Amino acid sequence: MGNVAKVLAVGGALASTLFAAVPAQASEEASLPTRTVTKYYGDGKVTTSTEPDYAKAKSAALQAKAAFSCPVDFLCMYQHENGGGAAFILEDPGSGRNGHDDFSKVRCDSCGGSFNDQMSSFVNKTSKTWYWYFDKDGYGEQHNMNWTDKPFNLVPREHDKASSVYSWR
């Protein structure tokens, strides 16, 4: 093999290594199950969309995207730990006390009908502390939700209990 051929062969091997890294992650992303994101805006508008359920990824880089779609000024609640499963996302419009009285009215087809008794983790990208409750209308056990841009996992006994949520003010 001449010198030029050697350089080309090494360069080719290096290029294929670099190339392989991206398609592996891209193909895992394409193979992930999707989850539904239900977004409640401050003006009353409700939208639903789907995205990959990144919490189910094996790749740490993809797992880190589990809460990527949680915007600033939103409280984002997830069906499973680590930001996985269906997402119920609530905008904090700023002033006053905000929240939702009854998660059984939040539609979630993949949760068996509604988001009631589903939450296992959350992200809070608002400037407020929020409180979630075991029962609707702010009744039952109360637990606080501090600011976090990474999914905060509830302890197991608190999984699948949340029925209402309110900001402190």
The residues that touch Ca ion, with contacts defined as CB under 5 A, are 117, 134, 161, 163
- In this structure, the number of other CB atoms found within 10 A of the CB of residue 111 comes to 20
Distance CA(142)–CA(164), nearest Å, equals: 10
For the bound state, the minimum distance from the C-beta of residue 13 to Ca ion, rounded and expressed in Å, comes to: 57
Query: Cα–Cα distance between 40 and 74 in angstroms, integer?
Result: 9
| Residue number, 80 or 161, with CB nearest to Ca ion | 161
Location of structure tokens 């700023």: 94
Q: Which single residue brings its beta carbon nearest to Ca ion?
A: 163
Q: How far is CA 52 from CA 27, 28, 62, 107, 152, in A?
A: 12, 10, 10, 19, 19
Q: How far is the CB of 38 from Ca ion (least distance, A)?
A: 18
Q: Provide the minimum distance between the beta carbon of 163 and Ca ion in the complex, in angstroms, as a whole number.
A: 4
- The helix (H) or strand (E) run that includes residue 26 is helix 3-31
3-state class of 15 per DSSP?
helix
Largest distance between two CA atoms of the chain = 79
Q: Given the complex with Ca ion, which of 54 and 78 has the nearer CB atom?
A: 78
The smaller minimum CB distance to Ca ion, of residues 100 and 161, is found at: 161
Nearer to Ca ion, 65 or 143 (CB): 143
Tell me the closest approach of the beta carbon of residue 117 to Ca ion, in angstroms. Answer: 5
**Which CB, 138 or 148, lies closer to Ca ion?**
138
- Asked if residues 51 and 62 have their Cβ atoms less than 8 Å apart, the reply is no
Instruction: Give min distance, CB of 158 to Ca ion, in A.
Output: 10
